[in-house]
């Protein structure tokens, strides 16, 4: 892995592995993977390298992992895209929006697709992803939190979809989960005003599953992880598949999907 540092803890290679690449740390401890955006001095601002690192984590996630926690080091979950992208110089080695504007359509499409790959895998049925969000989650930061299945937040959280205020659209896979979570009208309100959503509103409109005091965030996440790991793994995967497909199916189709999944479960459990 380019630019990566890897180390093992506990003397046993199977116990805990920690790898860092481009300011993204991944720690795998048995069935739990914890991804930490680790550039607190820049409020975990994200670059194309961040998204490539996230995508690579998704590609190489060990099969035993059932829960993925995504968090940010320091006072903010993430201040969104690195603002150097808006400057002519851009981010060293990664270009700028000015250079991206000059690329041909195919190259541009490919680059955006690669960026989105860093976010998309967090929805896989084989895992449950939890965003542990404190402080600011702006733009790409908000969208990263939206990529996760669940959001547990600190009481100082402030979500903001700032892209439209900067002349951009949210394009890091966040628009669909936002609409699904809060409804179209509220999503339009949040995005087209680029206003801040604080903890109480986030809880009320379904953006957050739980709000806790900042100092209790890690414990609240640990508790949720323990609850998730307590259920049968294969049943969890099949149930997530069913739930994810529900909105796109008619009731009749959904009932058929339930029958199919249950038949597989019962055969696996009782034969």
In whole angstroms, how close is the CB of 146 to ligand CAA at the nearest point? Answer: 12
Q: Does 72 bind ligand CAA (CB under 6 A)?
A: no
d(CA 126, CA 22): 26
Contacting ligand CAA (CB under 6 A), which of 91, 100, 166, 257?
166
DSSP letter for each residue of 101-129: HHS-HHHHHHHHHHHHHHHHGGG-TT-EE
Residues 181-210 touching ligand CAA, rule: CB under 6 A, are none
Candidates 37, 49, 61, 81; binder of ligand CAA (CB under 6 A) is 81
- Applying CB under 6 A, does 83 fall inside the site for ligand CAA? yes
Cα diameter, the chain = 64
Strand, coil or helix: what is 13? coil
Q: How far is the CB of 210 from ligand CAA (least distance, A)?
A: 23
Neighbours of 169 (CB within 10 A): 12
Near ligand CAA by CB under 6 A: residue from 53, 58, 82, 203: 82
Q: How many residues form the binding site for ligand CAA (CB under 6 A)?
A: 19
User: Which stretch of DSSP H or E encloses residue 178?
Assistant: helix 175-182
For ligand CAA, the closer CB: 198 or 240:
198
**Tokens in use for 203?**
């809880």
User: If binding is defined by CB under 6 A, does position 76 make contact with ligand CAA?
Assistant: yes
- Tell me the residue number closest to ligand CAA, measured at CB: 139
CB of 79 or CB of 157, closer to ligand CAA: 79
Residues 212-271 touching ligand CAA, rule: CB under 6 A, are none
SS3 call for 163: helix
**Measured between alpha carbons, how far is residue 96 from residues 10, 86, 258 in Å?**
42, 6, 47
Backbone angles phi, psi at 17, to 5 degrees: -120, 140
Positions in the binding site for ligand CAA (CB under 6 A)? 42-43, 45, 75-76, 79-83, 136, 138-140, 162-163, 166, 168, 172
């Amino acid at each position: 892995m380019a630019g990566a540092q890897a180390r093992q803890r506990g003397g046993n290679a199977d116990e805990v592995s920690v790898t860092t690449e481009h300011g993204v740390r991944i720690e795998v401890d048995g069935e739990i993977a914890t991804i930490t955006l680790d550039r607190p001095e820049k409020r975990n601002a994200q670059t194309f390298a961040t998204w490539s690192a996230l995508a690579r984590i998704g590609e190489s996630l060990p099969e035993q992992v059932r829960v993925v926690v995504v968090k940010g080091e320091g006072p903010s979950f993430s201040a969104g895209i690195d603002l150097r992208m808006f400057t002519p110089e851009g981010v060293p080695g990664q270009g700028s929006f000015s250079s991206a504007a000059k690329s041909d359509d195919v190259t541009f499409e490919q680059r955006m697709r690669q960026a989105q790959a860093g976010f998309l895998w967090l929805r896989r049925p084989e895992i449950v992803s939890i965003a542990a969000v404190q402080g600011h989650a702006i733009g790409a930061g908000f969208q990263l939190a939206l990529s996760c299945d669940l959001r547990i937040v600190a009481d100082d959280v402030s979500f903001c979809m700032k892209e439209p205020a900067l002349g951009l659209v949210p394009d890091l896979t966040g628009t669909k989960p936002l609409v699904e979570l809060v409804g179209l009208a509220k999503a339009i309100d949040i995005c087209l005003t680029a206003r801040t959503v604080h903890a109480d509103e986030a809880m009320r409109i379904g953006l957050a599953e739980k709000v806790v005091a900042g100092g209790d965030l890690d414990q609240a996440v640990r508790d949720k992880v323990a609850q998730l790991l307590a259920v049968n793994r294969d049943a969890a995967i099949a149930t997530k598949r069913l739930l994810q497909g529900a909105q796109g199916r008619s009731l009749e189709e959904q009932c058929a999907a339930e029958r199919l999944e249950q038949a597989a479960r019962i055969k696996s459990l009782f034969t």
